[in-house]
Amino acid sequence: MSKSRKTIYVYGKQPVSEAIESNWPVFDILVRGRGNDRHKDPVLVEARNRGIKVSVMEPRDFDSRFPKASQGIAAKVGDVVFRELEQLLAAVPRGQAPLFVAL
């Protein structure tokens, strides 16, 4: 299994918020437009509190990079790391019963 790390983008308020709250590695948040009206946005406030860089992009550039469903916000995040079931089980502390959900 490859150990290479790459970055991907998630977009939309809820996916970006979930990435921050779940401690997924978030490297940068991109916001469409001036950003002046969004400085109190709870997602951006939480990102800044966690030391995540928030950058404002020109609307034209943001729109060419992300779909309309983005709600004007995107986050550059670390990719998902896949592990073998044995690796996951080995990481469970003794005496605790793990819960795994497979989709």
- Cβ atoms of 9 and 70 closer than 8 Å: no
Q: What is the pLDDT along the chain (103 residues), one digit of tens a residue?
A: 445 567 799 999 999 999 999 989 999 999 998 756 676 789 999 999 999 999 999 999 999 999 989 999 999 999 877 888 899 889 899 999 888 887 7
pLDDT at position 35: 54
Q: Which run of H or E residues covers position 75?
A: strand 73-78
Q: How far apart are CA 56 and CA 58, in angstroms?
A: 7
Residue 11: strand pairing partners: 74
Domains in the chain: ranges and CATH:
7-90 (3.30.1330.30)
